[in-house]
Structure formats: C-alpha cells, structure tokens
Amino acid sequence: MSRSPDRATITRMTEAPALRGRLAEDVRDGLSGAQKHLPSKYFYDARGSELFERITELPEYYLTRKETSILERDADAIMDALRPGELVEIGSGSSRKTRILLEAMHRAGGGDRYVPLDVSDAALRAAADALVESYPWLTVRAIRGDLKTDLASIPRHGRRLVIFLGSTIGNLHPEERLTFYRRVRTMLTADDRLMVGYDLVKKKELLERAYNDSSGVTAEFNRNILAVVNRELGAAFPIEEFRHVSRYDDAEDRIVSGLAASRAMTVPVPGAGIEVHLDEGEVIRTEISAKFTREIVVGEMEACGLALESWRTDDDGWFALAVSTRSDERMEDGR
C-alpha cells in the first residue's frame, strides 16, 4: 500500500494466473451453452468499478441512496447492540457506504479492524488507502478473493459483523444464494452477525428505469465485461456492436440484463479455447438482479441455519437491511 503499510495490507487468496484460469473456465462454460451468459463478477476491473461508482450517483439508480438512508439512520443502533471486534465486508467495492458503519463501530467502542473482500485489486487498494488516511484508529486487512471460494479462509479477529451490501445478493440465483448463506454460516459464531442489503419488489417501471439510465452509463458498464474478456483471454468481441438490454422478469421478480449482438458473428476466444457463434439479436446474459420480499428472505435464511434478528427499511419501503444470526435449528439439507 502507498500509505501506512502496517495498517493497510492486501492478501491475495488467489494469484493472477489462477484467476485467469478461473475466468477462462467460466467463459468457456458460459458461452458454450444454449443460453449464453457471463458471470457478473467480471464487470469489476478498474474501469468497471469506476463505472459502477458513477451508476450509484445516477438519479434513476435509487438503490444506493435508499440503503445509505437506512445506514445513516440506524448504524449507531446496530453497532451499539453488536459492538463487533471487526467488520468483514463481502464485495466491498469502494467501501463508501461502509464508512457510516465504521464510524458507528468506533463511536460504540467496538473494534478497529476492517476486512474487505473483493475481486478487484484496484478497488481494494484505493479504498484501503483512503480509509486509513481518514481514520487513524483503523486497521484494514483487505483480501482479494471470491465469495464462492474464499470466505472460509478469512482470518478471525474477535466478534464479527459480516456485511453484504448493495443488494449484491440479488446477483445470485436462488440455489447460489442458499450456498452463500451456508458458507457464511460457517464463518459465524453465536456472537457474530450477518447484515445483508435487499432491493425489494416494487413497480416494474421503477425497476427497469434503474437499470436503463438515460445517460448510458449502465450500458457502458454492461459492455465492459466484454472488454475484460478481450483483454484477459485475447478475445475479439466487437464491443460497440452489442446493445445493452435490461428488463424485468415478472415471473421471477428479477431484472435480467444482457448484451444483444447487432449482427451474426463468430468470435474467437483463444484464452478459453473456444469460438463463440452468435445470431443477430442473440443475447449474452450478464446479470440477474433479484428483488425480494421479507418472506422470501426469512424462508431462505431459515433453510440455511440463519435466523432473522432485525429488518429495517427506508421510509418508502423500497430497500431493506436484514441482520441475522446463526441458528441452532436443523437446516433442510441436514447440516
């Protein structure tokens, strides 16, 4: 790190060659089937992280403002009740909203340790440098890793509050969410807590507007995933010949985003050992963004050995922050 190296470090759970190999496998699997898709985690290189920060400031994108309003109102109450020794954040990004929780943790006399986990080296470095400069009392132990493989390897340092903000949980399919909850459960003791942000079911028009902004930033962010595949795997996707599409799936209560090919094409991806054939108008799905009700959240958590402890929404009821604890009840799969 460029500042306070003793107070801000990055541990790389997986080194670059292995990450590239994982990307190649994901691209090969995702672009070889009938419904072509790419995992949304690959949006977030340095450029993608920068674009997403711009998205959070767009007038159409209400999610960040709503979640922030809950944190500003309730962070002190949350931290006074929990007094964690460390704050562990999954998918931390810029850690901008996290500052509200860190400051509340400090006021409550809790710990002085922040452990962000993210796939983006650039985002981790920028956030860690900025945080230790702002807070002389804070130690940052950043981890570059993947929520699907590296959660169990995060070192423990006292009572934990594990957070997963921004409704990123909605990017996971239902079975992936259950796997995620089970993995997080193994990180928790009876004194620890998990806090997750959920975008709630609401009018279709509001949802579709949030993912189709008038300035085109979301479209640029969406196409950036092809730039990552081109750069890392030597692919030749003509990025500007793909159109951003995003619509609400009423049956599944989720936004589905993708990239539609403007013409028929065959694209070599040498690093994955494949050629991708696309028809005119064919869509590569890049992201799902599920929307939730309290009943869905409680049901999924209970199936995975977690119990809802508190449920806080913004004044409009558009977004929720749920705090849960490890339950001793038997899970559906018997674990």
Q: How confident is the model at residue 33 (pLDDT cuts 50, 70, 90)?
A: confident
Q: Which residues contact 250 (CB under 8 A, 6 or more apart)?
A: 204
pLDDT tens for 246-296 read 999 999 999 999 999 999 999 999 999 999 999 999 999 999 999 999 999
Evaluate if residue 331 carries a pLDDT over 50.
no
- Residues 138 and 135: their CA atoms lie apart, in Å, by 6
Predicted pLDDT at 145: 84
- Residues 276 and 249: their CA atoms lie apart, in Å, by 26
Which of 46-55, 229-238, 310-319 has the weakest average pLDDT? 46-55
Evaluate if residue 326 carries a pLDDT over 70.
yes
Measuring CA to CA, which residue among 24, 50, 48, 52 is closest to residue 38? Answer: 24
- Residues 187 and 201: their CA atoms lie apart, in Å, by 29
HSE-up (13 A, CA, CB side) for residue 214: 2
Longest dimension (CA), the chain: 60
Structure-token pair, residue 15: 């080194």
- Residues 130 and 126: their CA atoms lie apart, in Å, by 6
Contact 229/42 with Cβ under 8 angstroms? yes
- Residues 97 and 172: their CA atoms lie apart, in Å, by 21
Q: Which residues contact 208 (CB under 8 A, 6 or more apart)?
A: 246, 247, 248, 255
Evaluate if residue 173 carries a pLDDT over 90.
yes
Contact 90/162 with Cβ under 8 angstroms? yes
Orientation angle between helical segments 217-233 and 16-30, nearest 10 degrees: 110
Q: 223 — phi, psi (to 5°)?
A: -65, -20
Whole-prediction pTM: 0.92
HSE-up (13 A, CA, CB side) for residue 171: 21
Give the number of other CB atoms < 10 A from CB of residue 330: 9
Average pLDDT score over residue span 147-176: 92
Give the number of other CB atoms < 10 A from CB of residue 11: 16
pLDDT tens for 193-206 read 999 999 999 999 99
Structural domains present in the chain: 35-41+206-290 (no CATH), 59-203+292-325 (3.40.50.150)
Structure-token pair, residue 248: 């609400």
